[in-house]
């Protein structure tokens, strides 16, 4: 499978716990994006990387959220001290900088109880 | 005003008919526009992209762009029950960062 891969697919956690999600982009894609989607809404941009550099963070990305892409390949998104409002689908997408299209992974559904 | 607006629906269309989905955007400088299909509980799947005024056809799908009116549409011909999904309009606001509408839920009735 050469698409964008995300793990885990589902995560249930207790409020206050930390969680980490992983995204493996399409291998030749140098740009990687994180989005969050809540029920009945379109995805909202959180942050993006070009190679290993994090170039933009949305105001939606509070200081409890941190993302890394240490070697310009896979990326992780960590949420510290989770809150119920963090419950959502977290989507990763990747693109080749020379092409306009972005492709999404299967997403990680987070439920905070 | 939201950057990208869609009618949330639901839009109900009989099987075999044409489904017409609409989207407006606020940033006149936008250059790239996309339609994603999202089945319930799944992630968005890119089905069409359009960059120039006019129509772009791909199989049963036609995307239409009118930059003067800041309007993008998607037509689905010969609608099938498998087309039942939420359709998301997205606008590239630079470096392929996408701004999405809230999506239109489409139901095709057999």
C-beta of residue A23 within 8 angstroms of C-beta of residue A6: yes
Q: Judged by CB atoms within 8 Å, which residues 20-79 of B form the interface with A?
A: 32, 34, 36, 42-46, 49, 51
Q: Give the tens place of pLDDT for each residue, B37-83.
A: 999 999 999 999 999 999 999 999 999 999 999 999 999 999 999 99
Contact at 8 Å (CB) between A75 and A23?
A: yes
Neighbour-count burial for A73-112, b at 16+ CB within 10 Å, e otherwise = ebbebebeebeeebbbbbbbbbbbeeeeebbbbbbbbbeb
Q: Tell me what pLDDT residue B94 has.
A: 82
CB-CB under 8 Å, A56 with B96: no
Cross-chain residue pair B43–A100, CB shorter than 8 Å: no
* Higher pLDDT pick, A48 / A2: A48
Q: Is the pLDDT of residue A1 over 60?
A: no
B73-108 pLDDT, tens per residue? 999 999 999 999 999 999 998 888 899 999 999 999
B36: which strand partners?
Answer: B46, B88
**Is residue B100 within 8 angstroms of chain A, CB to CB?**
yes
Q: Please state the φ and ψ torsions of residue B30, each to the nearest 5 degrees.
A: -65, 140
CB contact (8 A) between residue B46 and residue A103: yes
Contact yes or no for A101 and B46 at CB 8 A: yes
Q: Which residue of A has its CA nearest to B4?
A: A42
Give the CA distances from residue B96 to residues A103, B2, B78, B85, in Å, rounded to whole numbers and listed in that order.
10, 19, 31, 24
Name the residue among A41, A45, A91 with its Cβ closest to that of B97.
A45
């Amino acid at each position: 499978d050469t698409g964008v891969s995300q793990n885990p697919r589902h995560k249930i956690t207790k409020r206050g716990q930390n969680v980490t999600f992983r995204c493996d982009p399409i291998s030749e894609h140098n740009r990687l994006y994180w989005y969050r989607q809540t029920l009945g809404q379109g995805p909202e941009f959180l942050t993006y990387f070009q190679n290993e550099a994090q170039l933009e963070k949305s105001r939606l990305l509070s200081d409890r959220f941190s993302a890394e892409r240490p070697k310009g390949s896979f990326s992780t998104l960590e949420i510290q001290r989770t809150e119920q409002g963090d419950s959502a689908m977290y989507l990763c997408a990747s693109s080749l900088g020379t092409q306009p299209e972005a492709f999404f992974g299967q997403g990680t559904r987070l439920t905070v109880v | 005003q939201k950057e990208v607006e869609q009618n949330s629906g639901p839009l109900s269309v009989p099987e075999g008919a044409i489904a017409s989905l609409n989207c407006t955007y606020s940033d006149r400088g936008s250059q790239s526009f996309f339609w994603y299909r999202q089945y319930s509980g799944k992630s968005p799947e890119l089905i069409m992209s359009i960059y120039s005024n006019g129509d772009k056809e791909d199989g049963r799908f036609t995307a239409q762009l009118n930059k003067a009116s800041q309007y993008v549409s998607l037509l689905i011909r010969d609608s099938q029950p498998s087309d039942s999904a939420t359709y998301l309009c997205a606008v590239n606001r630079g470096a392929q960062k996408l701004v999405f509408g809230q999506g239109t839920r489409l139901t095709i009735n057999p």
